[in-house]
Amino acid sequence: MTTNDNAAETAATDPTDDRMPARPRPPAKTFGQQVWSLLKELVFVLVGAIIVSSLLRAFVGQMFIIPSQSMESTLLIGDRVVVQKLTDFHRGDVVVFQDPGGWLSDDEPAADATPLDRVLEFVGVPTASTPGHLIKRVIGLPGDRVICCDSQDRITVNGQSLDERSYLFTASDGTQNAPSELRFEVVVPRDRIFVMGDHRDLSADSRCHLNDVSIDQGRGQVAFPPIDLVVGPAFAVVSPLDRAARMRRPATFDTIPAPSEPAPAEAVIKPEGVTC
């Protein structure tokens, strides 16, 4: 027997030999196991994306589909807008708010939601059935006196006339909506706002609810959406792509003075019974 043979025999029988035998290779995964592993990874990624999307939707921003003609031509039916939730709004901003009571029957058609619609809405992707919200332009804040109209048929806020020509709906023949055919004078109550659509002839906005009666509010109070029902100001149109644009506050609102008196607990509405 050779020296090498003796060494091999000793290594095989010596219990003090610390050399480990080679580990067997794991068996290769079958095609089915590879597919299952991929599916599990996709599920983890999808769940993570849903969680992130839901957090963004709850605290940062949300997308909405424009359901009606009331904001033409600023916003068209089917436009998708992103609303900021962490940003304060001001006079002149376009805001999304929850129905303060009885508005949607006048302004927003909503289809029945399918299970897919509910899933998409949960993760922040709106569908045509997204219910319960409206979008209008803020004209008056708490305490503001909003009047239609001055001698040149312009809306005034705290005595300052608004130049609304940059956003009021204009027909194809060049005819522009009047600021309002309805004459009124209101003082916006505490913690509420006064809103109007840009297509004034087709917008069932605050003006059209000044004589509404509700169970838990005085006559006409439902015309002023509570601030705590405002989701936030619309930041941009993101779809369709050919209409994608940043939304900006018209300069005419920059010079509106502050109200001269504190906001009343209930709105002041003149003349009594005024409505669209």
pLDDT of residue 161 exceeding 50, the answer is: yes
| Catalytic residue chosen out of the listed positions 37, 40, 70, 151 | 70
What is the per-residue pLDDT across 103-121, written as a single tens digit (0 to 9) for each?
986 445 554 555 655 666 6
**Out of 36-45, 153-162, 181-190, 191-200, least confident range:** 36-45
Q: Determine whether 203 is an active site residue.
A: no
Instruction: Give which of 262, 237, 231, 251 is closest to 89, Cα–Cα.
Output: 231
pLDDT of residue 22 exceeding 90, the answer is: no
In degrees rounded to 5, what are phi and psi of residue 17?
-70, 120
Q: Are 114 and 158 a contacting pair, CB within 8 Å?
A: no
First to last CA, the chain: 114
CATH code for residues 60-114+131-270 = 2.10.109.10
What's the confidence (pLDDT) of residue 67?
86
What's the confidence (pLDDT) of residue 20?
52
pLDDT of residue 7 exceeding 80, the answer is: no
Q: For residues 88 and 129, which has the higher predicted lDDT (pLDDT)? A: 88
Q: Determine whether 136 is an active site residue.
A: yes
DSSP label of 120 = H
* The two three-digit tokens of residue 225, written as one number: 């959406």
d(CA 152, CA 99): 33
Question: Span 212-231, mean pLDDT?
Answer: 93
What is the per-residue pLDDT across 177-209, written as a single tens digit (0 to 9) for each?
999 999 999 999 999 999 999 999 999 999 999
pLDDT of residue 1 exceeding 60, the answer is: no
Cβ-in-10-Å burial (0-12, 13-18, 19+) of 41 comes to exposed
What's the confidence (pLDDT) of residue 12?
47
For the entire predicted model, the pTM comes to 0.75
What's the confidence (pLDDT) of residue 253?
98
| Catalytic residue chosen out of the listed positions 68, 136, 180, 206 | 136
- Longest CA–CA span in the chain (Å) reads 123
- Identify the sign of the CA torsion 181, 187, 189, 193: positive
* The two three-digit tokens of residue 74, written as one number: 């600023």
Q: How confident is the model at residue 129 (pLDDT cuts 50, 70, 90)?
A: very low
- Where does the chain have alpha helices with state H? 3-13, 31-59, 104-107, 115-122
DSSP label of 247 = -
Q: Which residues pair with 63 in a beta bridge?
A: 82
pLDDT of residue 169 exceeding 80, the answer is: yes
Amino acid at 270: K
